Each structure stands twice: as structure tokens, then as C-alpha cells.
């Protein structure tokens, strides 16, 4: 019996031992599996981190590359808006064929080394609503701005190529005779007085008056004028040749004014005004107003004052009388003894204060109806405020000028 019991116990002990081994084995396998999983997770995590770093580096490089490219593109674009070479005034004759688009014109100008980029030129034309470019031959230089180039293209060139000029003079709208003389001297390297001598030459003026009687008869009758041709040198582009007298170039300027005014001569007579009066008011409007709407309205304000024998009282007249530029006028300034002082003198004075544009001339001949007698401009916004009475004008001054500056 004892032997049988022993035999029966032995299998039982063997089973427990095996079970223990199996349990240990399974535990070991689980531990190894967990370690493998942990190692695999760490490996994947490390790999993901590496991939993330690579992606971030690539993105950073792309952003940096795009930023650099954008910066240089912006630099190229802005530099292309400026003159190609502001110091190079050597003229080049350029032909613009009939029917050329702005893109084609840009390519022509770039090929002739007048501008840096034809593409930027085309963009500039579209953004600034430049149009009506005319075919022809033009004399341009790398020192010209895109504005000057497009203005020249709108004015038109010559039908046939002409000899290259020694200087090209573009007169801005509203330039006075003295300013034109300075510009002439700058472009031609000749003394300013060479131009002013022509302006003071009475015999030359009389020759022009005979050639353009409808234009210059009222200028000939004017008294106390500084320059008889002030107001009659139309703002445009002109060519100077060393072997051609300055008088010939001035004649071109006067002829251009006559061409511009020719359609208005009958209207001027109907309004019972002289050409001198129209150009004088236009020269004030040129400086006092910016937008076409304000210019027409300001013109009517001046006409309203003249109708009731009230002084025009334009600061432009004082600045011309003083022959200097000032931002703010003093009470003493407005009392300067000069026939051009329209603060103390009624009417339009001796004559124009500068050489006005066609738009300013049209504003005087076709003003916008208003019963205002006063106006002032907020220089920070450019907005013009009108008033019927002096009290309203003072209120506008307090609100839009004085209070803003305090």
C-alpha cells in the first residue's frame, strides 16, 4: 500500500514542477515580449522624431527659401519702378509701332535699356490706369521715371525719327517761369539767366504776340507783370539743341499753349473774360486743388468772390509775391506790398502765378456750381471744406485745422 501511494504522489510532484516551468517560461516570454514592444516603441518613437525633425527642417528651408526669393522679388520690383540709371541722361531714340500693347512697349523699352523691367512697366501701366499711348519716335533716357515715360507716351512722339537732342526738358504742371529756368539750367548745364533773359525780352514777346494774337493780346496789355510769358509755357516735354536758339524752344511752349486753348477761345469770349484772366485763375486752381472735383469747386469760389468785388485772398498769390515757399503765412506776409498780393488787391492781379494744366483751365471755364465763398483743406487727409459765411469758415478751421494740431 505504501508503495502504491508513493507511486501515486510522484506524478503529482512532476506536474507541479512542469507547471512552474511553464509559468516561468510564459512569464519570461511575456517579459521579453514587453521588452521587445518597448524597444520597438522606442525605435518607432525615435524614428518618428527623426522624421518630424527632417520634415521641420525641410519646411524651414522652404520657408527661408521662399522668404529670400520673395525679398529679392520685392527688391527687384521696387527697383524696377525707379529710373534705370538716374545719372544717365543720354537720350536714346525709341520707336513705338502702331498698335503696340503696354506689354510690347515695355519689352521695347527694356531692350533699349530705358527701363529695368518690361513686365514691371506693364504692371505699372495697369495699376495707374495709363492708356492712350501713341505710336511714333521718342527720345528717352535711362534717367526717366516710369511716370515721365508714360506721360511722354500719352503726349505722343514724332512721325519720323529726328536727330537726338542735347537735353530733354519735362515741365511739371504748375511750374513757374523761375522753376522752369532752374530746370532748364539743370538739364542743359547752361546758366539759369540764359533762359530768364528770353523771358524778359520784350522784342521777342512782341514777335510772339503777332504770331499768336488771340492767345497773347491780353498778356500784352497787362501791367506790372513779372514775366509776360508766365502762364503761357505749357507743361509738357521739350527738346533742347545746342545749335538752336532758346527762343525756338520757348516758341514751342507757347505754341503748345495755343493748341490747348484754341478750342476754348469762343467760350472765353462768351464768358466775357480774357485769356490772361482765365490763365491767372487756372494757375491758382492748379495749386489750391488736387482732385478735378475740388478744382472745379474752388474755381467757382474764386468766381463768386470776383462777382461781389471781394478779394480772392489766395495764399498762392502771397507766395508768388514773396518769391519764396512757406508752409504757413503770417499776418504780415498777407500785407506784402505787391500787385500780385490778392489779399489786399481785388481782381485777378497782373497775371498768372505759374503755368497751369489743361485740367485747371477747364475747371475755370466749367466750374461746379456752389455759393461758397470760403474753403480750406485738411492737409492730413486732403479733404477740402467749403463755407458760405466767414463764421462757418472759422468753425471749419477750428474743427479740422486748429483742434487737430493741438
Place of cell 468772390: 305
Task: Please count the structural domains in the chain.
Answer: 2
Q: All 3 cell numbers of residue 14? A: 512532476
Same domain, 157 and 279: no
Position 120 in a domain: yes
211 within a domain of the structure (yes/no)? no
Rounded Cα gap, residues 218 and 350, in angstroms:
11
Query: Which of 145, 164, 183 is where one domain is finished?
Result: 164
Residue 132 lies in a domain: yes
Secondary structure element (H or E) that encloses residue 170, with its range: strand 167-170
Instruction: Say whether both 159 and 282 belong to one domain.
Output: no
3-state secondary structure (DSSP) of residue 353: coil
Q: pTM for this one?
A: 0.73
Please report whether residue 359 resides in a domain.
Answer: yes
**Which of 111, 129, 164 is the last residue in one of the domains?**
164
Is there a domain that residue 196 lies in?
Answer: no
What is the chain's pLDDT, residue by residue, as a tens digit (406 residues)? 444 444 444 455 555 566 666 666 666 666 666 667 667 666 677 777 777 888 888 888 888 787 787 776 677 667 778 898 988 988 999 999 999 999 999 999 999 999 999 999 999 999 998 888 999 999 999 999 999 999 899 988 888 888 889 988 989 999 999 999 999 999 999 999 999 999 999 999 999 999 999 999 999 999 999 999 999 999 998 999 999 999 999 999 999 999 999 999 999 999 999 999 999 999 999 999 989 999 999 999 999 999 999 999 999 999 999 988 777 788 898 999 999 999 999 999 999 999 999 999 999 999 999 999 999 988 778 889 999 999 999 999 888 887 776 6
What is the rounded distance in angstroms from the CA atom of residue 287 to the CA atom of residue 397? 20
Cβ-based neighbours of 355, under 8 Å, separated by 6 or more: 171, 173, 174, 175, 176, 177, 180, 230, 231, 232, 233, 234, 235, 283
| 155/168 Cα distance (integer angstroms) | 14
Residue 382 resides in a domain: yes
Phi/psi for 84 (5° steps) reads: -60, -45
Cell of 352: 498768372
377 forms bridges with which residues in the sheet?
384
Report residue 237: phi and psi, to 5°.
-105, 135
Of 118, 145, 164, the one marking the end of a domain is 164
How much is the pLDDT for 2?
Answer: 46
Cell of 370: 456752389
Q: What pLDDT sits at residue 318?
A: 94
Quick check: 105 and 133 in contact, CB under 8 A?
yes
In this structure, how many other beta carbons lie within 10 angstroms of the beta carbon of residue 124? 21
Domain that holds residue 347: 271-405
Residue 158, domain member (yes or no): yes
Amino acid at each position: 500500500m505504501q508503495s502504491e501511494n508513493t507511486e501515486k504522489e510522484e506524478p503529482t510532484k512532476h506536474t507541479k514542477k512542469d507547471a512552474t516551468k511553464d509559468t516561468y517560461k510564459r512569464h519570461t516570454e511575456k517579459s521579453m515580449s514587453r521588452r521587445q514592444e518597448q524597444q520597438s516603441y522606442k525605435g518607432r518613437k525615435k524614428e518618428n522624431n527623426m522624421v518630424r525633425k527632417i520634415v521641420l527642417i525641410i519646411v524651414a528651408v522652404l520657408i527661408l527659401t521662399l522668404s529670400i526669393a520673395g525679398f529679392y522679388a520685392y527688391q527687384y520690383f521696387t527697383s524696377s519702378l525707379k529710373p534705370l540709371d538716374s545719372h544717365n541722361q543720354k537720350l536714346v531714340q525709341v520707336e513705338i509701332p502702331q498698335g503696340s500693347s503696354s506689354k510690347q512697349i515695355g519689352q521695347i523699352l527694356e531692350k533699349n535699356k530705358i527701363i529695368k523691367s518690361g513686365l514691371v512697366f506693364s504692371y505699372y501701366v495697369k495699376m495707374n490706369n495709363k492708356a492712350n499711348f501713341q505710336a511714333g519716335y521718342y527720345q528717352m533716357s535711362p534717367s526717366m521715371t516710369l511716370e515721365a515715360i508714360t506721360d511722354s507716351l500719352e503726349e505722343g512722339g514724332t512721325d519720323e525719327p529726328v536727330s537726338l537732342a542735347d537735353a530733354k526738358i519735362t515741365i511739371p504742371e504748375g511750374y513757374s517761369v523761375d522753376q522752369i529756368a532752374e530746370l532748364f539750367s539743370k538739364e542743359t548745364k547752361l546758366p539759369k539767366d540764359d533762359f530768364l533773359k528770353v523771358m524778359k525780352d520784350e522784342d521777342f514777346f512782341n514777335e510772339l504776340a503777332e504770331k499768336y494774337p488771340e492767345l497773347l493780346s491780353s498778356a500784352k496789355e497787362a501791367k506790372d507783370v513779372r514775366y509776360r510769358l508766365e502762364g503761357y509755357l505749357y507743361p509738357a516735354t521739350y527738346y533742347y539743341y545746342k545749335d538752336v536758339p532758346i527762343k525756338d524752344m520757348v516758341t514751342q511752349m507757347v505754341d503748345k499753349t495755343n493748341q490747348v486753348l484754341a478750342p476754348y477761345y469762343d467760350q472765353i469770349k462768351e464768358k466775357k473774360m480774357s485769356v490772361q484772366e482765365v490763365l491767372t485763375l487756372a494757375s491758382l486752381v492748379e495749386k489750391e486743388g488736387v482732385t478735378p472735383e475740388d478744382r472745379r469747386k474752388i474755381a467757382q469760389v474764386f468766381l463768386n468772390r470776383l462777382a461781389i468785388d471781394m478779394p480772392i485772398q489766395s495764399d498762392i498769390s502771397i507766395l508768388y509775391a514773396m518769391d519764396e515757399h512757406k508752409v504757413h503765412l503770417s499776418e504780415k506776409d498777407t500785407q506784402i506790398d505787391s500787385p500780385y498780393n490778392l489779399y489786399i488787391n481785388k481782381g485777378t492781379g497782373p497775371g498768372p502765378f505759374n503755368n497751369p494744366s489743361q485740367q485747371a483751365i477747364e475747371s475755370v471755364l466749367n466750374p461746379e456750381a456752389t455759393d461758397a465763398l470760403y474753403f480750406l483743406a485738411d492737409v492730413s487727409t486732403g479733404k477740402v471744406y467749403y463755407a458760405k459765411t466767414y463764421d462757418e469758415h472759422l468753425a471749419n478751421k477750428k474743427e479740422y485745422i486748429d483742434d487737430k494740431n493741438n
